[in-house]
Structure 1
Amino acid sequence: MFHGGDYTGEWELRDCPELFTSATAPKRGITRHRLFRTSTYPTIVKGVRADASSTVARPTPGWADEEWTDTAQRLRAILLKFPQVAAGHVTAACLYGWPLPRNQPHLPTHVFSADGNARIRAQGIRFHRTTLFTSRLFFDLPILDPAHAFISLGADLDVDDLVRVGDAAVGNWHGPPLLTLEKLTAAVVGTRRIRSRRRLLTALDLVRPTVDSPRETDLRLWLRSVGLPEPTVHPQIFCAELGRVVEPDLGYEHARLALEYDGDHHRTSKGQWNSDIARDEAMRQEGWTVLRVTGRTDYRLLEAKIRRHLGLAQPPQDGTRPPGDWRNGR
């Protein structure tokens, strides 16, 4: 039976090669020559092979990409040999669909266990023993619960990257939130012997609920980094022209200024494009100014526009800016 945890978003069944341990190869009619001397049964982890001629339909989130599928398959292979473990750290983040820094490797596969006597030493696997072990089934995969998965990342991600992960965990990036910001904060505050507790709490102070995409987070963090006031996430604007409430990505209600980040789908989808135009016009009818941001936006000009609209002093002209990779549209 499919166990998606609390996930209520779109999912589907996808065929994956069947996994088997090398020890069971004879029972499957596989000779040693075919197993060890051909590429018919590739190794997923030591002692576990894949049989592409036999597939299994696996429950998979609708947003999952090839990296998600590969990560899930590696975890299933590990579980065939070590059933007591659960995914954590970057492996959990990948399976939950959380954004990770581009320079953060997804290998080795990180697995956790509360068994003090457990030992796993194998290439491609990073084993952690911890008393902070609360797991859940997510698409039939045992993963540290979202709060402990977030905590496990604290020592290796910087504050901005932890904010992105936190926004994803409590936001709407891949369906409904996995937990609330209050529960996530309570877990960090209430759990003993956490590495990088201060960094985690600093990040949580910047995490906001209801965020829809990493681009929204990056835009909000950039605004703070250049000394602009933090805008509201999804301010509610009733638009009489549409007869409903519209929620732009970010907004300064007192100045009636809305900021919208447009990904490629806004440009390539005609329906989305037309919807954006209608929304913008409806907000303008309510007296709002709408600024659209893309990966090609000149952020220096954007900052000047925002400051002018908010009645703030213009930025320095010496070219200095806080460090960050927001200009790369990450």
Structure 2
Amino acid sequence: MEQVESLRRPMLFGMTTSLVLQSVPLPDDCPFGTDLLHSVSGSKRKRIRARGVRHHTWSPLRHAHNVCIGTCVGQRAYALDLFHTWAQMSPYLSLPSLVMLGESVITSIARQRELANGRTSEQIHADMRLFLERIPRFTGKCKCARAMALIRPNVDSPQETKTRLMLSSHGLPECVVNYAVPGVSFDSGVAMTLDMAWPDYHVAVEYDGDHHRVDRDQWRRDRSKRGRLNGRDWVVFTATAATLADAAASAEFAFGVARQLTLRGASFPFHVVARSLE
């Protein structure tokens, strides 16, 4: 914060700074780093000029519900609310990244009591859709509308989003996100959930990050869970970073899932070469 010691009025953080301050992971293709602070105002005449600050103008600002995140240089500082931050980022991101960011925003809000304000992920998702309908026109609104059609609540990580979108691009039918398997629970009584599932066909995909491999308790929990589900006629595929490493690896994984769905009665056109989400 030493770079902004010359500021004389409260700062409203936007773009990547707002996302970082509110615990939202940045998309892989985000063009803005975290080396600069990003501020935002409703017009150019209200811009903040300071060393180390990149300023942005956001005309729908007066409709935002900004979040107080503490003090900056002895004054209260605020972050642009996450729905507006998501919309503000839309001109700079690809459609898949905008979907991933939207799902990360919903998850981040749901996990923070003050931001959630008693709402479930489903309710936050509904509020996000309503926000987009009501906000005045802005650059990127059409892209946000396309992304909104693909955004789902209850997604735990951007990699799960990326996996789901990859499967969709190969033609696989819509899955149920974070599906709780009826009648199956851990010894603790917690329901067993699947990252992506096609319940009618007992086929599922789980995304395993590195912690699933290096954390012994998590590894045992995964083995127990998948063993019990296999015993109930579920086929559970495991995706990893290697699955998403390149087009060939993704296509091979998608074909395996598609084949199992087809063997169990599903009917859909499979695309050997992934199609654009557009």
User: Would the TM-score normalized by the shorter structure come out above 0.5?
Assistant: yes
Give yes or no for contact 1:173–1:211 (8 Å, CA) kept in 2. Answer: no
Partner of 1:124: 52
Mark the runs of 5 or more structure 2 residues left unpaired by the alignment: 72-76, 117-123, 244-248
TM-score by length of structure 2 reads 0.78
Q: CA deviation at 1:303?
A: 1.7
Partner of 2:208: 262
1:165-314 → structure 2 map (5 Å cutoff): 165-171=101-107, 175-176=111-112, 178=115, 180-240=124-184, 242=186, 245-297=191-243, 298-311=249-262
The match for 1:91 among 11, 17, 25 is 17
TM-score by length of structure 1 reads 0.67
Instruction: Describe the SS at the equivalent of 1:229.
Output: coil
Q: CA deviation at 1:189?
A: 1.5
Deviates more, 1:251-260 or 1:115-124: 115-124
Establish whether residue 112 from structure 1 lines up as the match of residue 40 from structure 2.
yes
Establish whether residue 156 from structure 1 lines up as the match of residue 92 from structure 2.
yes
Establish whether residue 321 from structure 1 lines up as the match of residue 268 from structure 2.
no
Partner of 1:138: 69
Give yes or no for contact 1:154–1:162 (8 Å, CA) kept in 2. Answer: yes
* 1:153–1:172 Cα change, 3 Å: closer
Partner of 2:3: 45
Give yes or no for contact 1:241–1:282 (8 Å, CA) kept in 2. Answer: no
Instruction: Describe the SS at the equivalent of 2:111.
Output: coil
Kindly tell me the number of residue pairs found equivalent between the two proteins.
248
Question: Per chain length, whose mean CA-contact separation is higher, i.e. which structure has more relative contact order (CA < 8 Å, sep 6+)?
Answer: 2
Q: CA deviation at 1:313?
A: 7.1
Q: CA deviation at 1:291?
A: 0.8
Q: Report the residue type matching 1:235 in the other structure.
A: Y
Give yes or no for contact 1:235–1:250 (8 Å, CA) kept in 2. Answer: yes
Q: Greater Rg, structure 1 or structure 2? A: 1
Cα distance between partner residues in 2 of 1:157 and 1:128 = 16
Give yes or no for contact 2:173–2:268 (8 Å, CA) kept in 1. Answer: no
Once the two structures are superposed, residues 213-267 of structure 1 have per-residue CA deviations (whole angstroms, 9 ceiling, x without a partner) of: 1111001110111111121101120344746521111001111011111000000
Q: CA deviation at 1:173?
A: 8.9
* 1:176–1:227 Cα change, 3 Å: farther
Instruction: Describe the SS at the equivalent of 2:56.
Output: strand
Cα distance between partner residues in 2 of 1:316 and 1:151 = 31
- Percent identical among aligned pairs is 24
Partner of 1:100: 27
* 1:139–1:162 Cα change, 3 Å: farther
Cα distance between partner residues in 1 of 2:45 and 2:109 = 38
Cα distance between partner residues in 2 of 1:166 and 1:117 = 30
Q: CA deviation at 1:102?
A: 4.2
Q: CA deviation at 1:129?
A: 4.0
Give yes or no for contact 1:181–1:209 (8 Å, CA) kept in 2. Answer: yes
Deviates more, 1:286-295 or 1:98-107: 98-107
Instruction: Describe the SS at the equivalent of 2:179.
Output: coil
Give yes or no for contact 2:58–2:88 (8 Å, CA) kept in 1. Answer: no
Once the two structures are superposed, residues 21-56 of structure 1 have per-residue CA deviations (whole angstroms, 9 ceiling, x without a partner) of: xxxxxxxxxxxxxxxxxxxxxxx326x3xxxxxxxx
Q: Report the residue type matching 2:46 in the other structure.
A: A
* 1:131–1:305 Cα change, 3 Å: closer
* 1:150–1:144 Cα change, 3 Å: same
Higher percent of residues as helix: 2
Mark the runs of 5 or more structure 1 residues left unpaired by the alignment: 1-18, 20-43, 49-79, 325-330
Cα distance between partner residues in 2 of 1:240 and 1:181 = 27
* 1:86–1:120 Cα change, 3 Å: closer
Q: Report the residue type matching 1:45 in the other structure.
A: Q
* 1:127–1:300 Cα change, 3 Å: closer
Give yes or no for contact 2:166–2:250 (8 Å, CA) kept in 1. Answer: no
